[in-house]
């Protein structure tokens, strides 16, 4: 089957499954698994209205089984590396690249076991940095059904050049999260240097630039709202997993 015929068969799932394959080849297993699952779900929706004996339905079923087999193998590889304490995936974000919104990085790490998230980031002080943190919190609210608390440990601004903005912003965000039954704790440290996000289901994410890896863009341009379309600064994202000692 030619590439165009395959794309026609897979329909709206074609692009997602192509991305899954590319991530798979690049050894970015978490992203690949999430994309395979998304593509499979789309294919199953495409199959629903088709007659049981439809040739197209039979071809789609074959593709679904193939992708499900690959997704299951990836899942087992990830679980094996997690159990051995060996899981380490690195994502290199090139300068001016796009497609690195928070959902792409963090959603594959979220599950029903996640209840607490700790963000250590020295620079959550300025308006755009606080907005980035809010976007991260919004993602958790949507994706983590069992989430109970978020802790932010950030740098103390001794110059006070940002005025009372952080205090006002964090108070408002705390109230907003409380309405979702999620507690926000904010701590300030003058000696904090690491940038690390820890999930209590074992995942650890280290980003060279912290959450602030997006470039500024004109207020009314593409990428001003959808962060997947926002150009990025060059950085490295390391994803690791640590087994619980309990």
Contact 112, 146 (CB under 8 A): yes
Mean pLDDT of 108-130: 95
Q: What was the pLDDT predicted at 63? A: 93
- What token pair was written down for 241? 């997993």
Q: What was the pLDDT predicted at 246? A: 42
| pLDDT tens readout for residues 131-184 | 999 999 999 999 999 999 999 999 876 555 555 788 899 999 999 999 999 999
Contact 243, 107 (CB under 8 A): no
119 vs 108: CA distance, rounded Å: 17
- What token pair was written down for 124? 């959550």
Question: pTM for the complete prediction?
Answer: 0.86
Is the model's pLDDT at 20 over the cut of 70? yes
Q: What is the mean pLDDT of the chain?
A: 92
Domains of the chain (ranges plus CATH)?
A: 3-83 (1.20.58.80), 88-241 (3.30.870.30)
Is beta strand 116-120 parallel, antiparallel or unpaired with respect to 149-155? Answer: parallel
For the chain, the maximum distance between any two Cα atoms, rounded to a whole number of angstroms, is 72
């Amino acid at each position: 089957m030619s590439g165009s015929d395959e794309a026609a068969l897979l329909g709206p799932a074609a692009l997602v499954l192509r991305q899954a394959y590319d991530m798979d080849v690049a050894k970015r297993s978490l992203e690949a698994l999430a994309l395979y699952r998304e593509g499979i779900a789309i294919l199953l929706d495409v199959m629903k209205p088709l007659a049981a004996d439809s040739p197209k339905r039979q071809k789609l079923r074959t593709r679904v089984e193939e992708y499900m087999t690959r997704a299951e193998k990836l899942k087992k590889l990830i679980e094996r590396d997690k159990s051995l304490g060996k899981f380490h995936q690195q994502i290199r974000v090139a300068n001016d690249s796009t497609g690195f919104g928070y959902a792409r990085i963090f959603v594959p790490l979220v599950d029903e076991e996640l209840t607490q998230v700790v963000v250590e980031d020295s620079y959550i002080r300025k308006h755009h940095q606080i907005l980035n943190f809010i976007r991260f919190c919004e993602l958790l609210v949507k994706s983590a059904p069992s989430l109970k608390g978020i802790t932010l440990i950030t740098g103390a601004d001794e110059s006070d050049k940002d005025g009372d903005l952080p205090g006002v912003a964090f108070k408002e965000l705390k109230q907003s999260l409380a309405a979702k039954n999620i507690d926000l704790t904010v701590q300030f440290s003058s000696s904090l240097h690491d940038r690390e996000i820890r999930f209590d289901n074992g995942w650890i994410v280290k980003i060279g630039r912290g959450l602030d890896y997006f470039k500024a863009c004109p207020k009314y341009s593409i990428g001003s709202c959808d962060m997947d379309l926002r150009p990025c600064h060059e950085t490295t994202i390391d994803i690791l997993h640590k087994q619980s000692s309990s």
